[in-house]
Amino acid sequence: MSQSKKCLLIIDMQYDFINGSLKVDEAEQIIPSIRNLINSEQMKFDLIVFTKDDHPRDHISFASNHRDKKPFSEYTYTSESNDNNNFKSLLWPDHCVVGTKGNEIHEDLLKEITDNKINGVETLVVEKGTQSNREFFSCFDDVLNEEHTDLERTLKSKNIQDVYICGLAYDYCVYNSALSSSTLGFKTFIIDNMCKKIDKNWELDNNNIEKITL
């Protein structure tokens, strides 16, 4: 029997989340362990995906694009086609704007990639939140589950069954990517020691997602 194929999702390791406008505490600390993981001989992945928050300046998730709203104030996204489809979240400081330094993935991780490979393993970059009017936490779907990236199709076309997830921020984009992954039928693992969260009181509590330490 062939072994199940494994993918690593490295979520949003971009400067704005590491030391920029939406800095996640202690984010820098996980960079060396993620580097070790992508170079590991024991844990060979079949695909390594880097995700990026990739916003235009007028992105709906920026408080600056709403009258009288401050960063970290509450905001509810509502579907244009279905009033009952809502998602309550927060507005953010401007972050990961296309063309800015804050949008770039940390160089310590990027320099591991040569010719779209890391030690022979194919890598790819998935961008999310590219449309002005759509907020994405998951790298598969927007928060209203109406728009989708190509990632599901890509993983299924490569016969990936197991998805391992690390990066930033644990309680937003990592967690929501894991939720989508498990809903889409992938066996889903969060690498607990390679994630950092925004809300210190948040804890992962989901039976369909396995929390592991590597």
Nearest approach, Cβ of 54 to Zn ion (angstroms)? Answer: 8
Examine residue 54 and tell whether it contacts Zn ion (CB under 5 A). no
Q: Which stretch binds Zn ion (CB under 5 A): 10-18, 53-61, 155-163, 194-202?
A: 53-61
Examine residue 171 and tell whether it contacts Zn ion (CB under 5 A). no
Nearest approach, Cβ of 53 to Zn ion (angstroms)? Answer: 4
Examine residue 53 and tell whether it contacts Zn ion (CB under 5 A). yes
How many Å separate Cα 115 from the centre of its chain? 23
Give 53 or 162: the residue with its C-beta nearer to Zn ion.
53
Give 118 or 179: the residue with its C-beta nearer to Zn ion.
179
Give 34 or 173: the residue with its C-beta nearer to Zn ion.
173
The set of catalytic residues is: 12, 128, 173
Nearest approach, Cβ of 177 to Zn ion (angstroms)? Answer: 13
Nearest approach, Cβ of 59 to Zn ion (angstroms)? Answer: 7
Site for Zn ion in 108-147 (CB under 5 A): 129
Cβ distance 123 to 48 under 8 Å? yes
User: Measured at CB, which residue is nearest to Zn ion?
Assistant: 53
Contact residues: Zn ion, CB under 5 A: 53, 129
